[in-house]
Structure 1
Amino acid sequence: MWRIRIDTSTPKLALEVRDSDLLLAHFCTLDLAEFRLNKLAVNPSKAWWQGLEDAQHNLVFLHGYGDRKTGQHKGVTALAAEGGEVQWQLDEMAFYGLASDGMLVYRADAPDQPLTLVNPKTGNTLRDGISQQTAASLVADFSQTRYTNWEYPVMYKDGEPYFEEVCNFIADQSGEKPVVALEYAELSNNIVISYYEEGAVGNLDNFVVVYDLQGNLHLKVKLGSGLSGIGSDTFFIFNLQLYLLRDKHILQVYRLLA
């Protein structure tokens, strides 16, 4: 699993799965009401040179590459979230972000120039000449509304005050000693922590634990072992459901206490 985005209007997850050995990429959507997986019909020979940008309005938005050496994004393609049929394309533009009244894009060959607002369902231009500052505000404002029921963890690294505080909590509860970094999210009835322990040969093992506010352990899952470094966004929470990615290819979902 390479990248996950959520369509909060549906809701669905959009998934980008890559195999670097075979140079293959696949794109899927997962219906969060029925947990039904839909593979999108993207040409396998072209899919490796595409990537997932975002998902909304029952559409999945992919980017291409203007410069494959630097990874510069170029092109926006909107696919139907069910079957993957192409709804529209903007070959010379690049994705900037979603706003409440449209999608912001910019010319891939002129990233410092004003942006354009397009209709995310059709790709038609709604407004030109949007400043960088205004574009950033529009995306930030919509994100606050869009992700009301969505929770990402906050990362704390070794040496930061909250890292030591959470480490002490885990040590008191389980006797284990987290290292390097951890990710933390606190809800009304749950505390979710992703942390690392030193493995047998100096590498890292990654665990996620869920406690209630009284310190009782309700879940412990090993996400990965033998890791050479840490990751970010190792879990997320949407509508009180905890989403975990185990061993980079197994998506597990748990219902949290309301």
Structure 2
Amino acid sequence: MLKKAFHKQFEGIIWKIRPDESASHLALEVRNTEKRLTSFSCIRTTGGTWTFDELQLQEPWFCGLEGLAHGHAYLHGYLSETLPEHRGIFAVRLENGQIAWEDYNLVFSHATGEGLIAWNYKSEPRRYQLVDPQTGTTVRSFASREESEQLSSPISAAAVYLPSKVTLDEEWLRHLPPDALPAADLLQFNQRWLLAFYTADEGEETASLTENKKMDHHLYVINNERQVIHKDLLGEGILQPAMDTFFVMGNQLYYIKSKSEILAYFL
């Protein structure tokens, strides 16, 4: 059996998950389509405590999560309600959820070892600049994105392990339910196999990932003796295969259940 690190259910769909570069914090973007509300939460992975929970911006819906770096989560707005282009940076402290700074004119590009690379949405052509991640002030400007990459160093990030798409052979399938489908997501980590697979939903005689039939989505953790030491039902009655349903960071397994729950277990 695996020991649970944390479990939380949200009132909405977990839309996006981002870790910081040290793997010490994990932030989530949750969208409630019925209420048209977007909220943001962050957990300290080493202790399982939520440093902020269901944080909302003044704009309740047209906003999102860019990424985490340098002790902050960076949120964005949109250029308009009808355009997908991002506008604005809101820097939220990971330790307490307080907004450290905001700039409605900047657009987030990416984080580097020195800070943030961004541009002013009004500039044409784009003029990239290095932004101090603690204050939002411009440190220097660049003539192009290429120059910004040449004069900055990549941010050093902790490893995140994702599963690979596989087709299970008969040896694998005989350890699974008889209606398990061969298409699956598989990751070997710490002498264990992490496996997400599908079965035909109750009432469906057969199913495949290419047919318009309902499936159930399962997660198994299997040891080297092919014994199942943890299992969970990730989703029921789904028509399309899920994307990126689990990952490993540090020594913990993280996964999404029923679109609205996040769980973590020690491996």
Name the TM tier (shorter chain).
Answer: 0.7 to 0.9
Q: Residues 139 and 54 of structure 1: is their aligned pair in 2 closer, same or farther, counting only changes over 3 Å?
A: farther
Structure (1/2) with the larger helix percentage: 1
- Select 2:260's aligned residue among 245, 249, 255: 249
Query: Shift of the alpha carbon at 1:214?
Result: 4.0
- 2:30·2:40 contact (CA, 8 Å) conserved in 1? yes
How many equivalent residue pairs? 244
- 2:91·2:101 contact (CA, 8 Å) conserved in 1? yes
Instruction: Describe the SS at the equivalent of 2:87.
Output: strand
Instruction: Describe the SS at the equivalent of 1:226.
Output: strand
Q: Residues 197 and 13 of structure 1: is their aligned pair in 2 closer, same or farther, counting only changes over 3 Å?
A: same
1:151 aligns to 2:161 (yes or no): yes
Bigger RCO of structures 1 and 2 (CA < 8 A, at least 6 apart): 2
What is the percent sequence identity of the aligned residues?
24
Query: Shift of the alpha carbon at 1:173?
Result: 2.2
Letter in 2 for 1:192: L
Where does residue 9 of structure 2 map in the other structure? none
Where does residue 109 of structure 2 map in the other structure? 96
Where does residue 173 of structure 2 map in the other structure? 171
- 1:114·1:128 contact (CA, 8 Å) conserved in 2? yes
The separation in 1 between residues aligned to 2:33 and 2:229, in whole angstroms, is: 36
Where does residue 19 of structure 1 map in the other structure? 32
Where does residue 209 of structure 2 map in the other structure? none
Where does residue 119 of structure 2 map in the other structure? 106
Query: Shift of the alpha carbon at 1:244?
Result: 1.5
- Select 1:186's aligned residue among 181, 185, 188: 188
The separation in 2 between residues aligned to 1:153 and 1:134, in whole angstroms, is: 34
Instruction: Describe the SS at the equivalent of 2:82.
Output: coil
Deviations 1:199-233 (A, max 9, x none): 13421211111122343322221111111212211
Letter in 1 for 2:53: K
- Select 1:236's aligned residue among 247, 264, 267: 247
- Select 1:39's aligned residue among 53, 59, 75: 53
- Select 2:93's aligned residue among 57, 80, 86: 80
Q: TM-score, normalised by structure 2?
A: 0.80
Gaps of 5+ in 2: 1-13, 205-212
Q: Residues 222 and 59 of structure 1: is their aligned pair in 2 closer, same or farther, counting only changes over 3 Å?
A: same
Residues 210-229 of structure 1 aligned to structure 2 (within 5 Å): 210-229=221-240
Deviations 1:63-82 (A, max 9, x none): 00003223211111101224
Instruction: Describe the SS at the equivalent of 1:174.
Output: coil
